[in-house]
Amino acid sequence: MKKAERFVRFLKDWTLPVAIAVGTVSYLTFDLVPALDEAGNTLGPVFDLLFPLFVFLTLFVTFCKVDFRQLLPHRWHVGILVAQMLLVAACVGVVFYVKSVDDSHSMLYSPLLWEAVLTCIIGPSAAAAPVVVGKLGGNINTMTTYTLISSLASAVMIPLVFPLLEPPQSGVSADAQVDFLTAFFIILQKVSIVLLLPLVLGWVVQHFAQRLCRWITSKPNLSFYLWSVSLSITTGITVKNIVHSEATWSLLFWIALLSFLFCLVQFLVGRGVGRLLGDEVNSGQALFQKNTALSIWVAYMYLNPVSSIGAGCYVLWQNIINSIELWQYRKNSQ
User: Which pLDDT band holds residue 167 (cuts at 50, 70, 90)?
Assistant: low
Averaged pLDDT, 310-322: 87
Residue 316 pLDDT > 70, yes or no? yes
Tell me the residue type at 71: L
Indicate the angle between helix axes 180-191 and 292-302, nearest 10 degrees.
Answer: 160
Closest to 61 (Cα-Cα) out of 171, 179, 182, 205: 205
Residues with Cβ within 8 Å of 201's Cβ and at least 6 positions away in sequence, in order, are 60, 63
Averaged pLDDT, 272-281: 90
Q: In DSSP terms, which residues pair with 290 in a beta bridge?
A: 125
Q: Could you please report the per-residue DSSP string of 245-310?
A: --S-HHHHHHHHHHHHHHHHHHHHHHHHHHHHHT-HHHHHHHHHSB-HHHHHHHHHHHS-GGGHHH
Residue 166 pLDDT > 70, yes or no? no
Residue 113 pLDDT > 80, yes or no? yes
User: Which pLDDT band holds residue 173 (cuts at 50, 70, 90)?
Assistant: very low
Separation between Cα atoms, residue 168 and residue 128, nearest integer Å: 34
Separation between Cα atoms, residue 118 and residue 58, nearest integer Å: 27
Q: What is the pTM of this model?
A: 0.78
CB 286 within 8 A of CB 271: no
Separation between Cα atoms, residue 237 and residue 28, nearest integer Å: 11
Separation between Cα atoms, residue 124 and residue 158, nearest integer Å: 10
Cα 107 off chain centre by: 26
CB 137 within 8 A of CB 329: yes
Residues with Cβ within 8 Å of 318's Cβ and at least 6 positions away in sequence, in order, are 126, 263, 288, 289, 290, 292
Residue 187 pLDDT > 60, yes or no? yes
Phi, psi for residue 290 in degrees, rounded to 5: -105, 155
Residue 237 pLDDT > 90, yes or no? no
Q: In DSSP terms, which residues pair with 125 in a beta bridge?
A: 290
CB 255 within 8 A of CB 310: yes
Helix (H, G, I), strand (E, B) or coil at 125: strand
The pLDDT, as a whole number, for residue 231 is 78
Indicate the angle between helix axes 111-122 and 308-333, nearest 10 degrees.
Answer: 50
Give the count of beta carbons closer than 10 Å to the beta carbon of residue 83: 18
Cα 26 off chain centre by: 21
Averaged pLDDT, 155-167: 73
Choose the most confident range, by mean pLDDT, from 14-18, 129-133, 228-232, 304-308.
Answer: 129-133
Averaged pLDDT, 301-319: 82
Give the count of beta carbons closer than 10 Å to the beta carbon of residue 178: 15
Question: Which of 27-31, 72-76, 77-81, 163-167 has the weakest average pLDDT?
Answer: 163-167
Higher-confidence position of 184 and 146: 146
Tens-place pLDDT, residues 130-155: 888 888 888 888 888 898 888 878 87
CB 144 within 8 A of CB 151: no
Ranges of H-type helices in the chain: 3-13, 15-32, 37-63, 75-101, 111-122, 129-135, 140-165, 180-191, 197-208, 210-217, 222-243, 249-277, 280-288, 292-302, 308-333
The pLDDT, as a whole number, for residue 81 is 94
